[in-house]
C-alpha cells in the first residue's frame, strides 16, 4: 500500500484550508497513493486566538467537508484528517474523519484531550466515549488515533489486538522543550508495542512542529518531513509486516489480559 502524509500550516481562513487539502489530495492521488493522512484540526487556526478551531466548528454536512467528499468521488484513495464538529453552543468535538468515494466512511471523536503542558483542550472540546473503528484500505486494517492519543499505549495496543496493521495519527504537536524528541520516541514506541506501521501527520507553523513520519513495525523511520509544508510517501509492505510479527510476536506473547479502555 502506498501512503502519503501531507503537512501544512493551517490558516485562519477555512476556505483556504479546504483548497490546501484538495491540492494535497489531488497530488497524492496522481502519485498513486491509497491512503493520505493530513493533520489535526485543519478547519482553522490562528496563533493569536487559540479558540478559533472551536469558534469555526461546522457540522459534518457543512461547507468544509462537502468539497473534500466531492474531490474523493473519482478515486478509491482514503483521506484522513480531523476538524472540530459542533456539539453544544460554544463547544465542539475534535473529530477524525475518513473520506473515500464521495462520503465519510468512518469517524472518531478524540478520546484523550490535551490537558497537559499548560493547555486545557477540554475547556471547549468534548471527549469521545468509544474506541475508533478499524477501516480497510488496500488490504490493510487501519486503526485511527489523534495526536495526544499516542501517549496512551493501551489504546494503540487495543487497536492492534483488534486487528490493526497500521495506526494513523493526525496531529498538531505543540513546540516546546524536548517535544520533537517526545514525538519521535512515542511514534517509534507505538510501532514497536504493536508491531504495526505508524503513519503520523503533523501540522507545521509557528506553534507546531511538523515532523510527519512513517514508521515501520520495527520502529524504523521510512519517511519523514521537517518543519516545512511537505507531502511525503512510503510503501507499506504486508510481507514485511508478517515477517516482523513472526520474528517478534509480542502480540501473541503477552501474559496480561486485553486492555479495557472504557
Predicted local confidence at residue 260, as pLDDT: 61
Question: What SS3 class is residue 17?
Answer: helix
Average pLDDT over residues 133-153: 98
Average pLDDT over residues 182-210: 97
Task: For residue 142, give the C-alpha cell.
Answer: 487501519
Residues designated as active site:
40, 110, 147
pLDDT at 33 > cutoff 60: yes
Percentage of the chain beyond pLDDT 90 is 94
Phi, psi of 199 (to 5 degrees): -120, 110
Q: Cα–Cα distance between 258 and 109 in angstroms, integer?
A: 22
Predicted local confidence at residue 6, as pLDDT: 98
pLDDT at 76 > cutoff 60: yes
Tens digits of residue pLDDT in 216-250? 999 999 999 999 999 999 999 999 999 999 999 99
Average pLDDT over residues 173-178: 96
Q: Which residues contact 260 (CB under 8 A, 6 or more apart)?
A: none
Predicted local confidence at residue 62, as pLDDT: 80
- Calculate the CA 128 to chain-centre distance: 15
Task: For residue 68, give the C-alpha cell.
Answer: 473534500
Task: For residue 146, give the C-alpha cell.
Answer: 489523534
Q: Cα–Cα distance between 146 and 149 in angstroms, integer?
A: 6
Supply the mean pLDDT for the chain: 96
Domains of the chain: 2-253 (3.60.110.10)
Q: Cα–Cα distance between 36 and 65 in angstroms, integer?
A: 15
pLDDT at 262 > cutoff 60: no
Predicted local confidence at residue 103, as pLDDT: 95
Q: Single out the residue of 106, 221, 102 nearest to residue 164, CA to CA.
A: 106
Q: Single out the residue of 137, 142, 189, 136 nearest to residue 170, CA to CA.
A: 142
pLDDT at 82 > cutoff 60: yes
pTM of the model: 0.96
Round the CA-based radius of gyration of the chain to a whole number and report it: 17
Amino acid at each position: 500500500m502506498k501512503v502519503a502524509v501531507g503537512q501544512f500550516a493551517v490558516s485562519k481562513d477555512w476556505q483556504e484550508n479546504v483548497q490546501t487539502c484538495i491540492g494535497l489530495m489531488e497530488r497524492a492521488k496522481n502519485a498513486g497513493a491509497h491512503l493520505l493522512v493530513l493533520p489535526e484540526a485543519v478547519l482553522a487556526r490562528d496563533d493569536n486566538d487559540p479558540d478559533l478551531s472551536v469558534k469555526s466548528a461546522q457540522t459534518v454536512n457543512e461547507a468544509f467537508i462537502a468539497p473534500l467528499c466531492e474531490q474523493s468521488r473519482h478515486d478509491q484513495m482514503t483521506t484522513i484528517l480531523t476538524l472540530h464538529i459542533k456539539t453544544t453552543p460554544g463547544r465542539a468535538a475534535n473529530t477524525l474523519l475518513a473520506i473515500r468515494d464521495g462520503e465519510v466512511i468512518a469517524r472518531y471523536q478524540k478520546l484523550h484531550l490535551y490537558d497537559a503542558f499548560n493547555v486545557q483542550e477540554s475547556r471547549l472540546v468534548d471527549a469521545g466515549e468509544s474506541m475508533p473503528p478499524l477501516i480497510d484500505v488496500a488490504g490493510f486494517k487501519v486503526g485511527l488515533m489523534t495526536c495526544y492519543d499516542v501517549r496512551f499505549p493501551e489504546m494503540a495496543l487495543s487497536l492492534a489486538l483488534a486487528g490493526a496493521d497500521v495506526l494513523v495519527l493526525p496531529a498538531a504537536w505543540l513546540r516546546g522543550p524536548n517535544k520533537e524528541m517526545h514525538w519521535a520516541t512515542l511514534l517509534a514506541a507505538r510501532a514497536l508495542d504493536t508491531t504495526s506501521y505508524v503513519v503520523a501527520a503533523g501540522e507545521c507553523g509557528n506553534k507546531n512542529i511538523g515532523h510527519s513520519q512513517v514508521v515501520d513495525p520495527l520502529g524504523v523511520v521510512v519517511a519523514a518531513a521537517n518543519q516545512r509544508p511537505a507531502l511525503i510517501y512510503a510503501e507499506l509492505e504486508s510481507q514485511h509486516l508478517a515477517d516482523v510479527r513472526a520474528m517478534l510476536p509480542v502480540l501473541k506473547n503477552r501474559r496480561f489480559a486485553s486492555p479495557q479502555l472504557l
